[in-house]
Structure 1
């Protein structure tokens, strides 16, 4: 599947440069010894709904558990650039993020 996707990207890149920004996501949560571990890659975002009591009323508060891991994040962008220094398609993708 990955090889087919990469072939599609390479074939489509000259006419659709934005295809280089298409990818997949992974989000995993696991509980061990009453500890929740969360890992993510891509645009997945882990959010925990926590019930909070206020007197006799209660509400659910969203608590973000992960950071986005994509090229919109400068740290990830630098990592991708370092891994692929000669990839001209990255300049197109990063240009779209700034523009």
Structure 2
């Protein structure tokens, strides 16, 4: 019976690990996609329009990139904090 419980706990642990990695991976891909899409848009805009016209959009894209990176960092810290709270909640006994 102990072997069955150990196998189940191993499976649950692996699923939890995949869930945590998936959160970070999805945030990373979201950040990459948003920044890459902005760069592609600026490249197309620079190719179609005159040289000086897209320059203000480069500053706008820089601002968007900074905001996206900040959102990524905040969400990553929030997910990490929740994971750590769950970990500490399992270690400490509940007081009545």
Q: TM-score, normalised by structure 2?
A: 0.32
Bigger relative contact order, structure 1 or 2 (CA pairs below 8 A, ≥6 apart): 2
Name which one, 1 or 2, has greater alpha-carbon Rg. 2
Q: Which has the higher helix share?
A: 2
